[in-house]
Structure 1
Amino acid sequence: MNRDSLLFHADFRRLFAGDTASQLGTFVGVTAIPLLAAVTLAATPFEMGLLTTAETLGFLLIGLPAGVWVDRLRKRPVMLAADLARAALILSIPLTWWAGGLTMVQLIVVVLFVGIGTVFFDVSYQAYLPALVGRDRLLEGNAKLQGVQSSAQIAGPSAAGVLVQFVGAASTVLVTGLGYLASALCLWRIRTVEQLPEKTGHERLVPQMLEGLKFVFTDKPLRAIVACTATANLFGAAAQAVQVLFLTRTAGLPPAAVGGLLAVGGIGGILGALFAGAIIRRVGQARSIWLLPMLVWPGNLLVPLAGPGWRVPLAGFGLALAGFGVILYNVAQVSYRQAITPDRLLGRMNASVRFVVWGTMPLGGLLGGALGEGLGLTGALWTAVIGQLAAALWVVCSPLRHMRDLPVGEKAVVVPA
């Protein structure tokens, strides 16, 4: 192993380990909680839409002020508090189930408040990485962390499908809570001391929120990236709202098969993380952001074809292809965002971007539920995956299409091999 690798950076290793535990738990929950709702609690398509909406509603409700608050604080304590709060909330699900009192209302409320904790964690997390590893190593750090996410996307749903089959969905959710606790322990062991952010000339909430939004929307490439991601997330959440119902009720797959199929997308993600540096360097960072989605995101069109027999691996291949493209896109665009943003604005930039791109997801959840009721599960899923593919038009029709690399100050981003 190259000794210049961030894996020789002690505190990055602790962040990496915590992220591994957290992501594994998260992706177990991503499969187990919808299965709990769909199979155990017999949720309707509209209730599944509400559940999907609750997951990301926090970004719409408090995303912008969270960025201001995070910019005023050290990031690691915020992340620790968020992990502990999410663990306590998630662990209430199996406890209530064992007591015989779990309802869809409680499930939706818990998911809503876990999502609010995720707002603070994610805004802090992306603002913390530059302070931990330095701006010159952002691409390497993001690629490694994206690799963790993709690995968890394979292991989490696969493990969840099997566990749900044998111990039940509510008991499987324990893994998610334990993942958050393990993440908190790893963060607590980080020794790098953050500087307390300097106070700016105006401490009022609204002007600081507007400063973050202005920074995001006055940069034309960043504006196109935000519009693309927001649209993809809108229709991605619509697909998520009906996907488990489609796979269990229309395609007729058992929980273990559903978990395995959802895990396959992570294989493409791992390959994307492994080869992100080489591919982005060869293709160009700007070109990667618009060209690669056009080439590989169409894999999502194979998902509505899922069914018994040969159609399961066909849908799995589509998920893997799309997952490969999503990781390359995210590594390129997140590294660009972090590289061009002054330290004092990192939290607000991340919060402003998340407010827009995650703020569409609650609406997407409601859209998916409504489409499921009106068009049926198959029609809703087709509509959603076509909308995800169309999202790439924002970056295809932007100034990015005429660029190879993205300008940062007076020079382009250079992607290391």
Structure 2
Amino acid sequence: MEPPATLWRHRDFLKLWSAETVSRFGSEVSNLALPFVAIAVLKVSAFEVALLGAVVFLPFLLFTLPAGVWIDRLARKPILVASDLVRAVALASVPIAYGLDALTMWQLYAVAFVVGIGTVCFDVSYQSYLPSLVGRDQLVDGNSKLELSRAASQTGGPGLAGALIGLLTAPVAVLVDAISFVVSALFLARIRVHEELPPLEDRRALRVELMEGLRYLLADRRIRALATSTVLFNFFGQITFSIYLVYAVRELGLGAGTIGILLAVGNLGGLAGAMLARRISSRLGVGPTIAVGGACSTALILVPLAPQSQPIPFLVASGLVMTFGVVLFNVTGISFQQEITPDRMLGRLNASRRFLVWGVIPLGALVGGALASTVGLRATLFVGAIGISFAVVPILLSPLRSLGPGQSASLSASSAQA
């Protein structure tokens, strides 16, 4: 059966999109609420807040590669549903413990770790699942719509989070995210597409299949450049983001509501990026579009440059440009990677990429926390902002830079291989 001409009429895609949209909005609440629990309720240090950000991404270092092999061997829909339900249970424990006056920082670390495991399994599965739902010629459109949801949640979510924290308290607001994961699981469970599993005889030793994904990533100069660029962005970006809330609250004197609105307005750039990604990619080509997205990371320098008397215009401008670039980079880069990768390799390649690009996030968070404790918050923000400006360099030095309109999959194998 031919897929619908528009994905808005594709029932199974709409279920995936609805699930992702609901859970993204919920996650934006806990992304703000969990650090606020640590800052305002448990009153911990900047390093401990940064450590919380590191713990949630630690599973990407520990479990991503074996998860990719596992996901390539099994049906992906049950993994998506189970990942949502596990995260829902973990997050629901926070308001329960708070109500019993038993909430501790150690519990927050445990919750962050379990949520991270669920996110590893969900994210690797969902990026590998999309090509089995839609045609490969619809991947840019599908990824654009999913990124539109992410951008919309990042725009509306922080404002909602700030309001809920003020109304319910931060620990109780986390319950909203738990409920969102349950709703997401219900949408995913109703997807009816049949998944083709590889024959049992095609399976090899775990170690062999683990290395296959990494070798595939490293052998293709285009995919390798995308991964290297994202590694730089995530490492230096996390140096900044791990202490951003502490900086906003303790040095700039901003409250949860103000920060929520600030993040919401800044994330309008992501909405624009999601809506324009397909048009820009068609006009400029894959390579230049990815390069433009990567170059937008230089706007992070506006965060430490923000004056204490009038910080909001600087923070909003940084957010607008950064989120526009991130979404443009992600939609185009991920669609390109899905387009040129065989289906049997998608899980392992996505896992290998996630291992590298998300695995550096806890390292960046730890470096950010350590630097903040020694040289101060603003100096640490400068380190992150200067470092992230180099994220576009791998793209400019790779064959990607010359991929004009219609050339994404037609680049010769000789120029793509290391």
CA distance in 2, matches of 1:31, 1:12: 29
Q: Distance in 2 between matches of 1:202 and 1:150?
A: 38
- Alpha-carbon distance in structure 2 between the residues aligned to 1:409 and 1:277: 18
For residue 134 of structure 1, what is the aligned residue in structure 2? 135
Question: Which string of whole-angstrom CA distances, capped at 9 and with x for unpartnered residues, describes residues 221-241 of structure 1?
Answer: 111110110111011221121
Deviation string, structure 1 residues 124-145 (Cα, Å, up to 9, x no partner): 0000000011211100000000
Paired AA for residue 45 in structure 2? T
**Structure 2 residue aligned with 1:415:** none
Aligned to 1:87: 88
Q: Rate the CA distance shift 1:407–1:16 in 2: closer, same or farther, 3 A.
A: closer
> Can you list the C-alpha shifts for 1:15-59, whole angstroms capped at 9, x where unaligned?
111111110011111111111111211121211121011111111
Amino acid at match of 1:274: M
Superposition pairs for residues 145-224 of structure 1, below 5 Å?
145-199=146-200, 201-224=202-225
CA-atom RMSD, angstroms? 1.6
Counterpart for residue 121 of structure 1 = 122
Whole-angstrom CA distance in 2 between matches of 1:26 and 1:233: 19
The sequence identity of aligned pairs, in percent, is 41
AA partner of residue 115 (structure 1): G
Alignment of 1:206-355 (within 5 A): 206-294=207-295, 296-306=296-306, 310-355=310-355
Structure 2: state its 5+ residue gaps: 414-418
How many angstroms does 1:411 deviate by? 7.8
Stretch moving more, 399-408 or 298-307: 399-408
> What secondary structure does 1:100 align onto?
coil
Pick closer, same or farther for the CA change 1:144–1:411 going to 2, 3 Å. farther
1:57 aligns with 2:66: no
Task: Describe the SS at the equivalent of 1:179.
Answer: helix
How many Å separate the matches in 1 of 2:412 and 2:283? 17
Distance of 2:358 and 2:167 partners within structure 1: 34
Q: Which residue of 2 aligns with 1:108?
A: 109
The one-letter amino acid paired with 1:366 is L
Asked if 1 retains the 8 angstrom alpha-carbon contact of 2:293 and 2:324, the reply is no
Measure the CA separation in 2 of the matches of 1:144 and 1:269. Answer: 12
String of CA shifts for 1:340-361, please: whole Å, max 9, x gaps.
Answer: 1111111001000000000100
Q: Is the 8 A contact 1:247 1:306 kept in 2?
A: no
Deviation at 1:157, TM superposition (A): 0.9
Question: Contact 1:252–1:307 (CA<8 Å) still a contact in 2?
Answer: no
Paired with 2:396 and 2:92, the residues of 1 have a C-alpha distance of 44
Distance 2:20 2:408 in 1: 30
Q: Does 1:365 align with 2:368?
A: no
Q: Matches of 1:40 and 1:207 in 2, distance apart?
A: 47
How far has the Cα of 1:202 moved from its partner? 4.3
- Report the more deviating stretch, 330-339 or 235-244: 235-244
Whether the 8 Å contact between 2:292 and 2:325 is mirrored in structure 1 is: no
Counterpart amino acid of residue 351 in structure 2? A
Q: Is the 8 A contact 2:247 2:377 kept in 1?
A: yes
2-structure distance, mates of 1:192, 1:24: 25
Quote the residue 2:97 is aligned against. 96
TM-score with structure 2 length normalisation?
0.94
Give the drift of 1:408. Answer: 2.0
Establish whether residue 408 from structure 1 lines up as the match of residue 413 from structure 2: no
More displaced 10-residue stretch of structure 1: 346-355 or 394-403: 394-403
Deviations 1:378-407 (A, max 9, x none): 111121122122222221222323443554
Distance in 1 (CA, whole Å) between partners of 2:307 and 2:109 is: 29
The farther-off stretch of 395-404 and 10-19 is 395-404
* 1:46 alignment counterpart: 47
- May I ask how many residue pairs the two structures share in their alignment? 409
1:155 and 1:307 map into 2 onto residues whose CA distance is 26
Measured after TM superposition, the shift of residue 280 of structure 1 is 1.2
Give, in whole Å, the separation in 2 of the partners of 1:90 and 1:320: 30
Distance in 2 (alpha carbons) for counterparts of 1:38 and 1:165? 14
TM-score between both structures, scaled by the size of structure 1: 0.95
Shift of the alpha carbon at 1:307? 5.6
1:390 aligned counterpart, secondary structure: coil
Q: 2:288 and 2:193 mapped to 1: Cα distance?
A: 36
Separation (CA, whole Å) in 1 of partners of 2:359 and 2:23: 22
User: 2:336 touches 2:408 (CA, 8 Å); kept in 1?
Assistant: no
Instruction: Tell me how far apart the structure 1 counterparts of residues 292 and 22 of structure 2 sit (CA, whole Å).
Output: 33
Residue in structure 1 matched with residue 399 of structure 2 by the alignment: 399
- Matches of 1:45 and 1:349, distance apart in 2: 35
